[in-house]
Amino acid sequence: MVLSGFLFLSVRVWEIIITVPIVGMLGWLVHVFVHANLLTPTYILLLFIVATLALAWEIFTVISYLRARHDALFIAFTDLCFLGAFIAGVVVLRFVTKYNCSSVGPVWTPQHGGVSYSSDPSKVCAVLKASFAFGIIDILNFAVTFFLALLVYHHHRNDDRVVVKREYSRSSRHNSRHSSGNHRSSRDYDRRPRSNSGRHSSRRREWV
């Protein structure tokens, strides 16, 4: 099952490529709201937090892949959690699909006191739609890596069983050889005094 590990690593790298734009685009929107001293809407903040945490998790698993493949069950569980989190973020942001970015109004622009802080509302709409699309792609990616991590776990679990069996067989052979050697030495030790006693008795008879 070397193929499953290679596919897992490849899809994980693809996840990083997809998640980076989400973090960048939504990070820009968060900066716009923070600069305007306004609360960031939930539909932006939720997906931004999920994408940021997912990006850190993806980079960590790629860097520590040789060690992480032995913890494939934990990785599968974590990927399943991110799968659910991305589904939640995309569901909250799904309303953006109803709008045409070429004809949006000031509703896309964060405003405070009638002052606009973004000169291009269509850009905000396009960013949200692109983040929505990349979020759907990440849902599919995490679903794939979840199943691949389960395959890697199943493969390495069988390897661990084989290693344990080999170690047990080697130890049992070593113990059997050690016990047989002790048994032979004890038999030789029991024979030697008998032969010496026979020689001493024969010598005594000759002197008599």
Confidence of residue 207 (pLDDT cuts 50, 70, 90): very low
The CA distance from 140 to 190, in Å, is 75
The CA distance from 112 to 31, in Å, is 15
The CA distance from 126 to 103, in Å, is 11
Residue 203 has pLDDT above 50, yes or no: no
Reported as a single tens digit per residue, the pLDDT across 87-98 is 999 999 999 888
State percent of the chain over pLDDT 70: 64
- For residue 118, the model assigns a pLDDT of 58
Structure tokens at 101: 């970015």
Q: Is residue 149 part of a domain?
A: yes
Q: Is residue 192 part of a domain?
A: no
- For residue 122, the model assigns a pLDDT of 81
Least confident segment among 3-12, 55-64, 171-180? 171-180
Confidence of residue 136 (pLDDT cuts 50, 70, 90): very high
- For residue 111, the model assigns a pLDDT of 56
Residue 115 has pLDDT above 70, yes or no: no
Residue 202 has pLDDT above 70, yes or no: no
Q: How many domains does the chain have?
A: 1
pTM of the model: 0.71
What residues make up the domain containing 112?
A: 2-156
Instruction: Give the chain's mean pLDDT.
Output: 77
Confidence of residue 71 (pLDDT cuts 50, 70, 90): confident
- For residue 68, the model assigns a pLDDT of 61
Q: Is residue 29 part of a domain?
A: yes
Q: Is residue 46 part of a domain?
A: yes
Least confident segment among 10-14, 79-83, 110-114, 201-205? 201-205
Q: Is residue 86 part of a domain?
A: yes
Contacts of 26 (CB under 8 A, 6+ apart): 44, 47, 48, 51, 127, 131
Q: Is residue 172 part of a domain?
A: no
Q: Is residue 194 part of a domain?
A: no
DSSP H helices in the chain? 2-35, 42-63, 65-68, 72-92, 121-207
Q: Is residue 204 part of a domain?
A: no
